């Protein structure tokens, strides 16, 4: 399996750094940014299999960041991870296109498995899209 690229977005830099270090220790490639704005720049420059996004951040908040990220990369799999979780926020995130909504503190293994699920889903979606594209191309070419 190819390397798993994860972007961690959290204004708690200490948390983000530690999480990234642990992920890197497990063989993932994790990068950190500390605001929504930086996250948008990051996702537009590189490809990530999953984004771990904090909900409550100064400036652009998690939901807003999520929406904008998806506007840039619709197939991006975003896991919201928050210490300020409420059901409403969770449902709002899911409706806005988040892959998962998780609450801090979280067991590292749970997070890892969600990241893996996100990657599988992204791959499935990509495959589907590729299939659609090929079918579309075949149809257009009249074969």
Tell me which residues touch another protein (CB under 8 A).
Answer: 12, 14-15, 18-19, 21-22, 25-26, 56, 83-88, 90-91, 94-95, 99-101, 103-108, 117
The answer to whether the CB of 54 falls within 8 A of the CB of 122 is no
- d(CA 125, CA 119) in angstroms, rounded, equals 10
Looking at beta carbons only, is 14 or 141 nearer to another protein?
A: 14
CB of 43 to another protein, least distance (A): 22
CB 104 within 8 A of CB 81: yes
Closest contact distance (angstroms) between CB of 1 and another protein is 19
Based on CB atoms, which residue is closest to another protein, 18 or 44?
A: 18
Torsion region of 137: left, alpha or beta (phi above 0 gives left; psi -120 to 50 gives alpha)? alpha
Query: Closer CB to another protein, residue 95 or residue 139?
Result: 95
Residue count (the chain) = 143
Distance, CA of 87 to CA of 62 (rounded, Å): 15
Q: How far is the CB of 95 from another protein (least distance, A)?
A: 6
Q: How far is the CB of 124 from another protein (least distance, A)?
A: 11
């Amino acid at each position: 399996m190819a390397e798993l690229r994860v972007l961690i977005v959290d204004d708690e830099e200490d948390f983000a750094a530690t999480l990234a270090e642990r992920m890197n220790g497990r063989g993932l490639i994790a990068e950190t940014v500390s605001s929504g704005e930086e996250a948008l720049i990051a996702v537009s420059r590189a490809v990530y299999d999953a984004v771990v996004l904090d909900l409550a951040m100064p400036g652009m908040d998690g939901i807003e960041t999520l929406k904008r990220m998806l506007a840039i990369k619709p197939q991006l799999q975003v896991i919201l991870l928050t210490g300020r979780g409420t059901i409403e926020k969770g449902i709002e995130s899911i409706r806005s296109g988040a892959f998962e909504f998780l609450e801090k503190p979280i067991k590292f293994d749970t997070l890892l498995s969600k990241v893996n699920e996100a990657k599988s889903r992204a791959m499935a979606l990509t495959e589907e899209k590729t299939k659609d594209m090929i079918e579309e191309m075949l149809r257009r070419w009249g074969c």
